[in-house]
Every structure is written in structure tokens, then in C-alpha cells.
A and B are shown apart, each in its own frame.
Chain A
Amino acid sequence: MIPTLLRIYWTALSRDRVAQAMTFLLPILFFSIFASVFGGRGRNGVSRVPVAIADEARSSTSRRLIRALGQEQSLKLRTTARPAGAARERATAMVRNGDLSVAIVIPPGIDSSLARFDGGGGAITLLSDPSDPVAPQMVGGLLQKVAMTAAPEMMARNGIGEFERFGIPLTAQQHQALDAWLPRMAADSGAASGAAPGDSSLAAGGGFSGLVKIERVEVVGEKRDDAMVSFYAAGIAVMFLLFSASSAGGALLDEIDSGTLDRVLTSNVGMSGLLTGKWIYMTLLGMLQICVMFLWARLAFKLDLFHHLPGFAVMTLVTAATAAGFGLVLATLCRTRQQLGGISTIVILSISAVGGSMFPRFLMSESMQRMGLFTFNAWALDGYIKVFWRNARIVELAPQVGVLLAFMAAFLIAARLLARRWERA
């Protein structure tokens, strides 16, 4: 009895490719994605944090700091505008626009304030984006490290000064020896930093207290909580939008089974009209779904929805329309409801993971971040982030909206071509 039942179930599974994929492929796929995201960060060359540096000091010390930072393998330095006066504004704009998560402003007078043990002097400013809580911590730690390696003579001078202050003053002869040695130390540090790049992964996490005084300024979003709430509202909304779009698209398959599609197609409605009707319905449904999600975020988590309504409306319309097109593609691609259920689960969970619905894309390696750009939900999330974190104007949403519209057009064309098989046989 039991062997017969086992044989029946095994035979059914061996002939059901969708069930096989759900059973074996999906777990491996998800394991790979999560392992790539959380296992890969910190490895050399895997994840490099882009950093802009505004050098307002224009001194030999600031240049040495920049050169040392440039040697760090986990940083990707980007130049800022000149002259120096515009550098801070340019760096601020880059962070605010989301081009990078953190920028370093080296203030005038860094030569006298670096490696001071009394906590005085001007601070290096870290302009940061609260959407990425990791990058500023990492850059702060690296700044502490490179201050030690790039300006050891300053450390030594200031250290001796503190020694004289709290201990015994040096003799004139000792001062002469120190003055002769410090330039050599400075020269050696430059050579050493060029010859042996540091391992940033070991140095990361130094914090903000240390030899370099660092002031962190969040240039985006007044409320950090809002940023995370809007991120997850958008991420979860887009993921479930895809599921509901797939489900609504699947109604097509039900209509085929019941003969309703045939009946509709014998009326005055052609396949293009039918798909257009479905697409509009699914778009409206998706918009409603996103609105409900964000209204709940407003009610329960005090998300500042109403000050971002224009951008929210644009992103919601375009995202819902694109997701509707995506749902139509899935529905027209599949032959049965069962097939649709399996394939849509695999595809939606995968692109949601890679596209950033489950965890922020800045946590991913560069290659995975690039891969994410091939998923339309990554662009949708970027758009929402721009609206809620960066207070972007509608015109600034052009890249995201443009890409989403391109995705949408591609989906609709694909769905129309795939639906040809349901037209006249």
C-alpha cells in the first residue's frame, strides 16, 4: 500500500517540472542570493564604497590623507568639483542625489587639528545618507586608520607635545633629533602607503572617537525612521504588487479554461483590447495596493506621505503599470494556473531579492548591484527612495521613470506576442 502511494507521488513529481523547480531550484537560488549578499561583503574587491572627497584644506597633509584613502581597496574615490569653495556643495549634492552614500570634507586647518590628543581643532566632516548606515561607519574607521599611516610624524610630534605637557620637557638636543627625524618619517609614510595598500576590511569599524575628529552630517532626510519605513513600505509593496499582478494576470488562464476568453474574443473585443483592459485594471489595482500600504505606513509609522504626494503619485502610477505588464507576461507565458503559480513564485522572489525588496541593495556586492539594475523593481525602489529620502522633484525621477516605462513597453509587447496563440488557431 505505502510503496504504491510513494510511487504515485514520486511519478507525479518526476513529471511536474514546476514542482521540481520549486522543490530544488528555488531553495538553491535563494541560498545563492543570500550567501552572495551577506557572505560576500567585506571580501577584498567584492564591495567598494564610493566616496567623494572635498578637499578644502589643499595642504600637503590633506593630499597625503587623500592619497592614503585612495590606496584603500574597499573605497572608490570620486573627484569633486573645483575650486575648493564649491567642493562641499558638490559633495553634498552627490550624496543627496544618491550617487554615493558618504562624502568626506577635509576642512582648512587640518594640518593643525589632525592627530591632536586634546580633542581640539577642526573636524573632518562626513556627509552621509541615512539610507546606508554601514558606509559612514566604515569610512570613519578608515579615516582613523589612514591618519595613523599617512601622517605618522604628526602623530609623533603631537604625542611628544602631550608627553612634554604632562610629563618631562625634552632637551634642546632631543628636540633637534626629533625635528631631523620627523621629515624622514613623513617621507617614509608616503612611500609605505604607496607600496603596501592597507586592508580596509581589517580597519573598518573604528568609530568616531579617535585621533581624527569626525563630525557626521546626514544630508538626506530629516528623520531616519522615515527613511527606513518608506524603504520597507516600497520594498514590500512592490514585491506583493508583483504577486497580485501575477494572480490577476492568471485570471486569463481561468477564462481560457471556462471558455469565457473564447466568448469575449467572439464579441467586438479583440485580443489587444482584452489585454489593454486587463492591463488597465491591474494597474489600478496595483496603485490601490501601494496606496493602502503607504497609508498604513502613514497611520502606523508616521511616514511623511502627504509632503511627497506628487512624486509618490508618479512612482506609484509607473510602478503599478509596469508590474501589471509584468503580470501579463507571466500569465501569457504559462499554460496553466499551476505553472503560473510555480514560475511566478520563483521569478518574483528572485527579482525581489536581487532588486532590493528584501534587503537594501547597498548591502550587496557591486556585481549584484549591477545585476539588480536588470530588475525593474530595483528602479521602482530607487524612485521611491528618491521621493521619500531625497525629496527629489518629479523631473529628478526621470531616469527611474524612463527605465520603468521601457520595461513596461517591453512587457506589453512580449505579452501581446505571447497571447497570439490564443487568437485564431
Chain B
Amino acid sequence: MNVLSVQDARKSYGATPALRGVSLELGEGELLGLLGPNGAGKTTLVRAIAGRVALDGGAIELMGRPLDGGGRGRLGVVPQEIALYPLLTARENLEAFGRLNGIPRGTLAARVAWALDWTGLADRAREPIKRFSGGMKRRLNIACGVLHDPRVILLDEPTVGVDPQSRERIHEMLERLRATGVSLLLTTHQLDEAEGRCDRIVIIDHGQVIAAGTLDELVARTVGHHRDVTLRLDRAPERPIDGFDGGAEGALLRARVDDVGAELPGLLQRVEAAGCAIRDVEVRSPSLQSVFLHLTGRELRE
């Protein structure tokens, strides 16, 4: 069952189109990655779902109901900015956003306690957050968006600017949320993050969805399932070796194989037969990076 559905979303700012008929679905308990270069329309789409941008056309449904300016109680929004009050403590921020999101007085304390535990900030609950590290603020920023127990959560680059440990911590938090059946729509510039954690990926560019599916599906539809093999030798071979692409780049040899188990031993034998010693072997599977490059012609950061 789809908990969030966007159909043919269109939006222009003056003569500049930002969304040109975007459609996507988010299933129950799913983690959907939304990727696209800067200016592709991701933020406009997220803001439209959050109710902060009025679409020129199209429809958005949440839990099967149209989102026409209201009914967003089951939606949680985690903005990219640290949208917190710096002079308030962690607890006070949580209480404030909890009240603003309509959490009843009777359950607020329990939800705040849950959020402090979930973020690992219980022992810093009484400190003004301006003293917090970037990672701590990020965790609290997420908590303020999910405190009211939404079923669908929009996360706009929730790990931007944090160190690897904090990123891991944040993803652990999100996994715990998913375990409760919550659905997540995640925009990110971290391709490895999308690749390793998202159930499905939607790539948009120039205001349109240019690809959608699981990583395997995207790979199959674009760059294919072959593997890139790179061998580092002790020296450059004296003559070209069969099975490798083009000429040798010094002591490096490159080949593309469809079946690693069947084809790699033969490649290694031919290298040894040519009198070269193999120092290193790298087998690289098709990545989201190559898919993205194939589809957009650009690196994600461009």
C-alpha cells in the first residue's frame, strides 16, 4: 500500500519550471531515496509535500487522502537546516515542537523522554543546544520532526555536514524508526547512503523523474550488471593481453566481465602466461554513481 503518492506535480517560478510532471509513490515502511543534481527540483518537491509550496498542477495524497492545504498530521518534516531554537535546551525544543505539532499534554512528556533516549541526548537534555556539536544538533533536528509520531517522514539531507560516526548514528536512529513501520522519503547527496540503505531510488533532473526503482533495476536499465576488473602488475606487459580493454596503462590492466566467477580465472592465467606478476586485483560492481552519471551526464555535486 502506498502511503504517499505524488501525481504529475508541476510548479514554475515565473518562466522557470521547477517541477515538470513529477510522479512517485512511497510504500508503507519503505525508505525511498530521492536523488538529483542541484537545481533538479528535489527541494521544491519536498516543500510541496510539506505544504510549503503550492503546486501549479498535479496531486499529492497522504494515506490515500488528498493533501490540499491540510491533513498533514501524519507527516513529519525534517528540514535540511538546523531549524531549532538555539537558546532553548534540547528538552525545551522538543516540548515546543511537540506542542506545535499537536501532541496532547498528557503524552508530551513520554514522547520527549522517548526522543531524548532515541537521540542519545538524555544526559544533555537541560543544556542550551547552541553548545551542541553538529551531529547532536542534527539528531535533535530529526527528533523534532518525528516527535508527533508521523507515519510518513520527509528527510531533507539529514546527514549533511556531519562526521561518519554521526552519520552512522543517524542511520541507526532511522532504522529503528523503520522497524516501527514508518515510511521515509530521503533526499541526499551521499550516493553510498542511498545505495546502501534505500529500498528504492528516484532520480529527478530538470524537474522530471528520469529513473525510479531498486538499485538492481536501475543498474540493469542503465549501465548493466557487468563488473569492472582492474589488475595492478609488477610491470607493464610487453604486448597486449587478450580480454583486456585497449592497451595497458603502465602497470594497470582493465577488463569488463559479465560473470566474475567464470571469466576472472582466465584473465589471471593470461596475465601470468605473459610473464607478469599480479600485485593487486580490484573488481568493481556497477554503482549508483555510474548509474547517476549515465543518466544525468553529471556528477551529483555539479
Contacts and interface: CB of A to CB of B under 8 A. Distances in A.
A266 B72 contact: yes
B204 to A, nearest CB: 18
A177 to B, nearest CB: 93
B100 A425 contact: no
B97 A263 contact: yes
A223 to B, nearest CB: 44
A266 B84 contact: no
Contacts of B50: 266
Contacts of A269: 100
Interface stretch (A40-48, A156-164, A254-262): A254-262
A259 B77 contact: no
B290 to A, nearest CB: 34
Contacts of A262: 52, 79, 81, 83
A265 B100 CA distance: 9
A301 B135 CA distance: 53
B82 interface: yes
Contacts, number: 50
A363 to B, nearest CB: 43
Contacts of A267: 97, 100-102
B68 to A, nearest CB: 11
A266 B69 CA distance: 10
Interface string B69-93: 1001100010111111110000000
A268 B104 CA distance: 13
Interface residues of A, number: 13
Contacts of A266: 50-52, 72, 77
A264 B99 CA distance: 11
B100 A268 contact: yes
Nearest to B75: A266
Given A259-B79, A259-B80, A264 B54 contact: no
A425 B54 contact: yes
Most chain B CB atoms below 10 A, which of A262, A264, A265, A267: A267
A313 B37 CA distance: 59
B93 to A, nearest CB: 10
Contacts of B47: 425
A15 interface: no
Nearest to B54: A424
A265 B52 contact: yes
B127 to A, nearest CB: 18
Interface in A265-319: 265-269
Interface string B154-189: 000000000000000000000000000000000000
B249 to A, nearest CB: 47
A103 B8 CA distance: 79
A262 B53 CA distance: 11
A37 to B, nearest CB: 42
Nearest to A260: B83
Nearest to A264: B100
Interface in A394-424: 424
Q: Which of A262, A263, A424 has most chain B Cβ within 10 Å?
A: A263
B53 A425 contact: yes
A396 to B, nearest CB: 42
A263 B53 contact: no
A263 B79 CA distance: 7
A197 to B, nearest CB: 66
Contacts of B102: 267-268
Contacts of A264: 100
Contacts of A258: 81-84, 86
Interface string B172-215: 00000000000000000000000000000000000000000000
Nearest to B102: A268
A259 B82 contact: yes
B144 interface: yes
Interface string B47-62: 1001111100000000
A424 B77 CA distance: 15
A259 B52 contact: no
Contacts of B82: 258-259
Contacts of B83: 258-260, 262-263
Interface in B13-54: 13, 47, 50-54
Contacts of B84: 258, 260
Contacts of B144: 263
Give the 4 A-B CB pairs with smallest separation, nearest first: A259-B81, A259-B83, A267-B100, A263-B83
Given A262-B52, A266-B77, 18 more contacts: A259-B79, A259-B83, A260-B84, A262-B83, A263-B77, A263-B79, A263-B144, A265-B51, A266-B52, A268-B73, A424-B51, A424-B52, A424-B54, A424-B69, A425-B13, A425-B47, A425-B52, A425-B53
Interface of B: 13, 47, 50-54, 69, 72-73, 77, 79-86, 97, 100-102, 144-145
Interface of A: 258-260, 262-269, 424-425
28 contacts: A258-B81, A258-B84, A258-B86, A259-B79, A259-B81, A259-B83, A260-B83, A260-B84, A262-B52, A262-B79, A262-B83, A263-B79, A265-B51, A265-B52, A266-B51, A266-B52, A266-B72, A266-B77, A267-B97, A268-B102, A424-B52, A424-B53, A424-B54, A424-B69, A425-B13, A425-B47, A425-B52, A425-B54
